[in-house]
Structures are given as structure tokens and as C-alpha cells.
Amino acid sequence: MGKVYLVGAGPGYVNYLTVKAHQLLNQAEVLIYDALVDSSLLQLVKSECLKLDVGKRGGKVSTPQTEINRLLVEHCQQDKLVVRLKSGDPFIFGRCTAEIEALRSAGCAFEVVPGISSALAAPLLAGIPLTDPVLSRCFAVFTAHEPDELDWEALAQIETLVVLMGGQHLAEIVHQLARHGKSLHTPIAIIRWASSPQQQVWVADLENIVAKTREISLSPVVIVVGEVVRLRNYLQPPSMPLTGKTILVTRSLGQSSQFSNLLQQQGATVIEMPALEIVPPSSWDELDRAIAHLLEFDWLILTSTNGVDYFFERLAAQNRDARALAGVKIAVVGEKTAQCLNKYGLQPDFIPPDFVADALVEHLQAQLKGKKVLFPRVESGGREVLVKELTAIGAEVVEVAAYQSQCPSAIAPAALEALQSGIIDIITFASSKTVKCFYQLLKTHGEADLARVCIASIGPQTSKTCLELLGRVDVEATEYTLEGLTQAIVQWANDN
């Protein structure tokens, strides 16, 4: 029989998901999720996973709890690994009791996986401590979904209050606290979309917070009431070069988030947008034939990590390993490609000093002249100049399709929302193909005003495509690596 995992999604942003929750999302066969679950989390599941939105939002049509219970039981009894993804922590206003009772009654196996509640995360991410030796020796967390049911006299005596689901009832919250003895000069913070790139914080006193936020949609928000709110100005972390900048990183689907990590280390808020899918070529015949005759080649040229991985995948498919390259010299473009090669126990014989493929000819003319070169590459073409120049110096170049790159079918919802809402400060491109796919996706699935957005490119070829399709380039890395692009963006931010 299957099993149901009731999983806490945390406050929203994928960075605050627990390791176990991440693992379960990767394994899920059925995902049943709430409305406040961030769309970026949905990208962690397998493409064949059945995704069911049963979200509950105030004032909107919601899936009845009985139907949610039925779905959990039905899919579990079909021997599926079911993840019931709830915002925050499942046991903090997560309505788990009814679901667990339904699972128990049906004899379904289940497990509850904790998450970071927004009641704890939102204040922290806004720089507000919930406890302090002098100002707050305790705090209370409650939901204001039904304010008439609360003991306001008791709540008004507590030093720090954290209110969930209180945006629609802010005026009533203020009224009740003041009526029961809370000073109107007590500070209050309203934190909207905590942990996400759209996070906003409003701070005022009870006396004027309603007027300050009258024109603002207060959903979803976490409200903090108490003297600890005044500590916010003192407890904010020191500003880093990219603090306050929201950066859209275009990348290959499934690619490592190494670049995002580099930017986050500099203080940036990062939204990832898969703008390229790497898939096998339409046929392995050419690559398999070349591998079968490896001893005929003098050089192997690899210009990307994709080329490395797919080459060695096909090498293994013929029951061979790195020893088959004993008589072949290897040239790679870029440190990242070299590191990928290292995974297979090999060191490159040559890396161009400026990480540009076309520089191979300049530095290896004598060694490549008259030699037979194997060049596994993307099926749809690329590096035409390199092939032309190698041929011109007398090298015999055998090009074979090792992989194919294509545009995704749609823009990731989080990326599209960020683009259309105008919160993006910088868009990064690490290849010409990601520029082309980004342009195509934006043209097909949703327009966005990029006039005030910084366009950052990893190198000259990518910049050329940016100029052709987007009309400009604002930042170009001087060292054509992800580290180099990060440094260039930091420099731009310091200058602006």
C-alpha cells in the first residue's frame, strides 16, 4: 500500500524548505497542495507526478475538506507515494486532524513532516525577534480568522503577539487590543509574502497602522505586535553588495543552482527561470559510431558540461570508460567544463586562458594542424566559427550530435509573476540559447517591461544575442565564468 506524507512547505520560498520535504517532493507520485504553497516548490516534483491544487483562500471557492480527505485516501490506496503539501508547519493551523482521521479510518499509512511556520520565519526575516530578555519574555501566536472567538483581554496582556490570517481584520485587531489595555503607541509590523522576493514590511504604531495600510492588499500577511518591533532597525544584517536586488537567473532546466548561490552570497534575492531544456539528440548513431572508433582521433574537444556528460553516458553504454581515451588529447572550454571532466577521472590537456571556444585555434594551431578532431556538440548547431577555423588550419573535424537544447513549453509561474509585477532588477544570461528561449517565451506567454531591468551577459557571444533580441546589454563579464558574471554584477550594483 502507498503512504501519505503531510509535509510542511515552510513560509513559501524554496530556500526555507526542509531537506526531508525536498526529498519527498522529488519522490512524490501525487502532490496535493495548498494555495499559499509557492509555485517554485511545484518544480521539484517529477514531470509525471499528478499535481492537485486544493488550495483554500479566504473569500474564494475552496475544495471541501471532505473531498481533500477522499483524494488522500484514494491515491494512497492506489499504492502511491502521496505528498500533502501544506504552507508553514502542518500542525500550526494546518487542519491536519480531519485528514489524519480519514487516513486512520481507511487504514492508510501516513507520516507528518514538520515545516518552518511563517509565525516564526516571517518576524525573523523582517529582523524582528519574538523574545528579548527585557522587552519580551514570552509571545503568543493566534489566528484572527474568527476574531469574535478570541479572548482579547488575555491577549492584550501578552508582551508580543504574532497574528496569522489577520489582514482582513486589522482594524478589529487594533480596536480590540486598544479596548483591552494595549497602548496605541505599541509598535506593530505587517509582513506580506514573507521569505519571497515580493516580501514587504510596514511598521507603525497601533494608532496609525490602519491608515498606513488602507490601500494595500493585506494577504497573505503575518502581523507582529509588541515593543520588539522597535529592535528591527538594530538587528538587520549588514548590507551586502546585492542586498535589495532581485535577480532573475535564466538557466537550463534541472541545472545546478551554483550561480544562484553565488548571487545569494552577495545578498541578492534570486528567482530562477528555466529557459532551456537539455535532452538527448534525435539519434545517438553518429556519437556511438565515433566512440566505436576513438583510436582514430587525435583530439577530443568539449565545450560544455552537457557535452561531457552525454559523451561519457554513451561511452558507458558501449561498456567502456575513460581508459578508451588513452591515446586522445582533450581540450575543454571553461573551468566548469574541466571540473565536470574531473568527475570521470580525467584532466584536460588544454583550457583556453580566456575560456572562449574560438581561442582554441589561436593557442593550438600547431598541435591541431592535420589532426583528426572529435567534436561532440549540441545537435541544432553552435560554434560554427570554431569548426570553420579548425578546418581552415587543416584539422579534420568530425562533428557529432551529443545532446539537444530546446525551449521549455512555458515560463515558470514564479518567474512570470515577478517579471510582470516589475520587481526584477537584473536578468542574467549565461548563453546565447538562453537569451533566445527567454525572448521566445516572453513573446509567447506574457509581455513584460524590461526598460528598467539590467541585462547581464556572461560574454561576447551572449551579449551579441542580447543586443539582437533585447536591444541592449548593461553588464558583460570580463572573465567568462559564473564567478566572473557575479563580480561584474556586483560592480554594476556598486556603481549604480
Backbone angles phi, psi at 217, to 5 degrees: -80, 110
299-302 vs 246-252, strand pairing mode: unpaired
Catalytic residue among 34, 38, 89, 425: 34
Task: Give the strand order in the sheet containing 329-332.
Answer: 329-332, 299-302, 372-378, 396-406, 269-279, 246-252, 426-429, 454-457, 475-476
Catalytic residue among 3, 20, 56, 372: 56
- In the structure grid, which three cell numbers stand for residue 48, read together? 509525471
- Give yes or no: 1 in active site: no
Count of residues in the chain: 496
- In the structure grid, which three cell numbers stand for residue 264, read together? 545569494
- 3-state SS string for 228-240: HHHHHHHHCCCCC
Q: Residue 40: which of 60, 61, 21 has the closest Cα?
A: 21
Are the C-beta atoms of 324 and 291 separated by less than 8 Å?
Answer: yes
Catalytic residue among 38, 86, 89, 165: 165
Are the C-beta atoms of 155 and 161 separated by less than 8 Å?
Answer: yes
The DSSP H or E segment spanning 293 is: none
Angle at 122 between CA 145 and CA 486, to 5 degrees: 145
Q: Where are the alpha helices (DSSP H) in 82-156?
A: 96-105, 118-125, 152-155
- In the structure grid, which three cell numbers stand for residue 283, read together? 539519434
- In the structure grid, which three cell numbers stand for residue 154, read together? 488575555
Distance CA 267, CA 240 (A): 5
Are the C-beta atoms of 353 and 323 separated by less than 8 Å?
Answer: no
- Give yes or no: 165 in active site: yes
Known catalytic residues are: 34, 56, 165
